[in-house]
Structure 1
Amino acid sequence: MFPTLITVLFGLLALGIPVAAVLVIVTLVLDHSFSFFPVLPVVGEMLWGGSTSFTLIAVPLFILTGELLLSSGIAAGMFMAIDRWVRVIPGGLLHTIIGSSALFSATSGSSVATAATISTVAIPQMKAGGYAPPLFLGSIAAGGTLGILIPPSINMIIYGVLSDQSIGQLYLASFIPGLMMALIFSVMVFAMCRLDPAKGGRREAPATWAEKIESLPALVPPLLLFVLMVGSIYLGIATPTEAAALGFLAALALAAWRRKLSMAVLVHAAERTMRTTCMVMLIVLAAQLLNFVMVSIGLADQIKTAVAALNAPPLAILAAIVIIYMVLGCFMETLSLMIATTPIVVPVIVGIGYDPVWFGVVFMILIEMALITPPIGMNLFVVQSVRGEGNFNDVAMGALPFVGAMLVIVILLIALPDLALWLPDFVRG
């Protein structure tokens, strides 16, 4: 049964059929071939229940918040403010890119939105600063991946829904690894630019203390949004969905305060949000339907039994899963990879004794790798699209060192699980 599922799933994806359609086709094949009762009579009720999920309402709200930050100029102001503080470090603007990506990720929750926003602001300065295109463009693509690890993360919400885990616990678990990843990115850029100063562009004159102090107000809006959204979740004041609503209202107020709020801005932000949300929700609903069939025919239990029969050490099974995801990430779009495999892999992970919250963090990093590994890496295409010229290989090759840095984080999390689990355990008391 399992080989049939894998063969049909990846065969259809290889043909270029839309992900949601593939999931529905696989559902119907499994239902027709193995189910003791037809699933079609309950499809309407299941899809309605999934589409009205209170938790998933957070997805469009986070996307809309990020769109408003971009349209109101808050993202550009944040970028310039960070640049004044870090431009003296070897690598200059590259550290600004990573820092801005981390801060913007803490308000938008989307990797693609982060990569697109930072690309729009940073790429025009690449030539002026004399930076080597591969490392510069690769840092933007890799920095964008922080959007699905640093809370609030849209992908974490989807993982939590599919694996039945607490969104709040997942956010707590991903906070420290997310900051560690941003730090490792910067350390790696620093080392590369010290070894080859030509990659780090021309050294700019350091900003004066007056200029640094003057730039601080531009950092207040994104920090305020982060504290409002994530703080309200951690303090138990709001659910992730309610926190997303608070973030949207705050972004709306900030755009109005900056006199950037207009009907044209609202319509543009709503249209882009609607496009992204419809794509995500259609895939999520199809995945929930597939999950229902897999549970009803006992596929999840069969996979766990088969893995247990191997008598392999848990670490060996985990290592195999990591390698499989690294390979699949080269050929599958990240959202489809996550949604298609979460219901299969999480029961296996739990069955061999690993914490599903901890694995959620490892999983997000593996998905981050898929975002910047050719030929399907979404962030690579986003950065190249904003660039609008030059060779795509510049972006792809520039991102490869960051894939290695992500693998280091995965190894650290496997060796030291408390990097992810300490904060959730501490908050639980």
Structure 2
Amino acid sequence: MLSTVLVVILLLLAITLASGLWIGVSLFYVGAASLLSFTSLPVERILGSVIWNNASSSTLMALPLFILMGELLVKTRLSEDLFDGLTPWLGRLPGGLLHVNVVACALFAAITGSVNATTATVGKITIPEFEKRGYSDSLSIGSLTASGTLGILIPPSMPMLIYGVVAQASIGKLFIAGLVPGLGLMFFFSLYIAVMSLLDRKATGAEALRFTWEERFRSLPKILPVAILIAFVLGSIYTGWATPTEAAAIGVLGATVLAVLTGCLTVPIFRDCVMGTVRTNCMIMLILIGASFFSVALGFLGLPKYISESIIALGAGKYTVMALITVVYLFLGCLIDGYSMIVMTVPIFLPLVTALGLDPIWFGIFVVILVQIANITPPIGFNLFLVTGICRHKIGFISKSVMPFIAMMIVFAFLMTVFPQIVLFLPNMM
């Protein structure tokens, strides 16, 4: 009986999503249809309760604040200053300025928490510079496309915040847990760039970049404002001095002060920042509330428990289950955005994962990395299309360029599964 119900719901969901209906609205419709068709529960009361619980959540207050912080910083001169400030420090490494892609994306990831904003902001600065200096298009575009996804792994991260709400996990521990994997992926990317540049000297341009220590220290004022703001926001969370919501408020204040001091904050820019925040927050909240209602409907029907028990009954081990979950996320990445993937799948997969003895915090970071991979998986990973708008190459070339980085991310996810302490040792110290 439950297997039939599951097939009907999945078919209905596929039809509504394929129709072009907004994802949040699709989830509302499918959740309501499921409850009306297979139960006698008061749908309107359940829906009202779900909307109220999500809209009044104190945890979700951090969401618009982090979005506003990112909007304020992205629309100022800080992005250009960051590139200029990093160049003297990274120019002499094997791979030269290609490492700026990785480090700048990581820093902007900690500002915006967004793949789109990180990739677009850094790419608009670095791609023209690399073309002018004769760098390999494949390495520069591949490293940008992959490093841009660090925007959802290095905290503060919107997908982590959403996962924490859906999974009822500690947002602070999730942020801390993402730090080491984020730095680990940065190391993997930079190592690949260095190795490839040593194998092919022409890949990193003909220009030999040499800077004196005086020039390096003169560049620090261009890096320090962003670095101090990031350290203050994340440090207040890690030390327990502030909750993620309070830290987000501190971040908005710091971003506003920086924007004023740099002379970039005009009334039109501030209006654009606020409107961008409202649009993004409304989009995420619609998806989140719709997915919450959908997951509540599945819970009343007993489907998450049924799926978990069915897979366990097959005798599938931890690695088999995680491989299956990985395939599901890579497939979904071709159809829907990361926020929707998280809120739609976590209520189904989390009981299964915890039944296997895996930590919900660890699973949150694993899911975020899978969402990262889904964003750049050919043929229709969203970040691939974004990069086509800031370079002169077509999506086929970009897909080929990013494949080595996808392989590294999959290897890193496997290492996390074998050695979960890569993720957990910092949160366990709290």
Query: Counterpart of 2:249?
Result: 245
Residues in 1 aligned to 2:81 and 2:428: alpha-carbon distance in whole angstroms: 36
Change (3 A) 1:112 1:301: same
Q: Deviations over 1:171-212 (max 9, x none)?
A: 111111110001100001111222223332233321221111
Change (3 A) 1:46 1:324: closer
Q: Is the 8 A contact 2:120 2:386 kept in 1?
A: yes
Q: Is the 8 A contact 1:91 1:201 kept in 2?
A: no
Residues in 2 aligned to 1:136 and 1:338: alpha-carbon distance in whole angstroms: 30
- 1:315 partner amino acid: Y
- The percent identity for this pair of structures is 38
User: What secondary structure is seen at the aligned counterpart in 1 of 2:165?
Assistant: helix
Query: Counterpart of 2:425?
Result: 422
User: What secondary structure is seen at the aligned counterpart in 2 of 1:23?
Assistant: helix
Query: Counterpart of 1:153?
Result: 157
Residues in 1 aligned to 2:58 and 2:277: alpha-carbon distance in whole angstroms: 18
Q: Is the 8 A contact 1:225 1:250 kept in 2?
A: yes
Query: Counterpart of 1:409?
Result: 412
- 1:360 partner amino acid: G
Q: Is the 8 A contact 2:109 2:151 kept in 1?
A: yes
Residues in 1 aligned to 2:42 and 2:389: alpha-carbon distance in whole angstroms: 45
2:205 to 197, 201, 204: 201
2:397 to 386, 394, 398: 394
User: What secondary structure is seen at the aligned counterpart in 2 of 1:386?
Assistant: coil
Which segment drifts farther, 291-300 or 209-218?
A: 291-300
Q: Is the 8 A contact 2:291 2:340 kept in 1?
A: no
Q: Deviations over 1:368-387 (max 9, x none)?
A: 00111123322222222233
Q: Is the 8 A contact 2:102 2:186 kept in 1?
A: yes
Query: Counterpart of 2:24?
Result: 20
1:17 deviates by 2.7
Q: Does 1:350 align with 2:370?
A: no
Q: Is the 8 A contact 2:23 2:340 kept in 1?
A: yes
Residues in 2 aligned to 1:288 and 1:332: alpha-carbon distance in whole angstroms: 17
Residues in 1 aligned to 2:175 and 2:163: alpha-carbon distance in whole angstroms: 11
Q: Deviations over 1:199-257 (max 9, x none)?
A: 32233321221111100111111111112111111111211111111001000001111
Structure 2: unaligned runs, 5 residues or longer? none
Give the 5 Å matches for 1:28-427: 28-387=32-391, 389-427=392-430
- 2:236 partner amino acid: S
Q: Is the 8 A contact 2:308 2:349 kept in 1?
A: no
Q: Is the 8 A contact 2:152 2:159 kept in 1?
A: yes
Q: Deviations over 1:34-90 (max 9, x none)?
A: 223131233234213312222112222112212211222112211221121111223
Q: Deviations over 1:390-419 (max 9, x none)?
A: 322232222111111101110110111100
Q: Is the 8 A contact 1:333 1:377 kept in 2?
A: no
Which segment drifts farther, 351-360 or 50-59?
A: 50-59
Residues in 2 aligned to 1:382 and 1:353: alpha-carbon distance in whole angstroms: 38
- 1:342 partner amino acid: V
Residues in 2 aligned to 1:303 and 1:292: alpha-carbon distance in whole angstroms: 15
Residues in 2 aligned to 1:227 and 1:89: alpha-carbon distance in whole angstroms: 25
- 1:333 partner amino acid: D
TM-score, scaled to structure 2: 0.95
Residues in 2 aligned to 1:300 and 1:344: alpha-carbon distance in whole angstroms: 5
1:315 deviates by 2.3
Q: Is the 8 A contact 1:65 1:247 kept in 2?
A: yes
Change (3 A) 1:352 1:36: farther
Number of equivalenced pairs: 426
Q: Is the 8 A contact 1:162 1:342 kept in 2?
A: yes
- 1:47 partner amino acid: I
- 2:393 partner amino acid: G
Residues in 1 aligned to 2:269 and 2:401: alpha-carbon distance in whole angstroms: 34
User: What secondary structure is seen at the aligned counterpart in 2 of 1:224?
Assistant: helix
Q: Is the 8 A contact 1:79 1:96 kept in 2?
A: yes
Residues in 2 aligned to 1:386 and 1:40: alpha-carbon distance in whole angstroms: 46
Q: Is the 8 A contact 1:82 1:96 kept in 2?
A: yes
1:278 deviates by 1.5
Q: Is the 8 A contact 1:39 1:293 kept in 2?
A: no
RMSD (Å), alpha carbons: 1.6
- 1:80 partner amino acid: D
Which segment drifts farther, 356-365 or 132-141?
A: 132-141
Residues in 1 aligned to 2:303 and 2:41: alpha-carbon distance in whole angstroms: 15
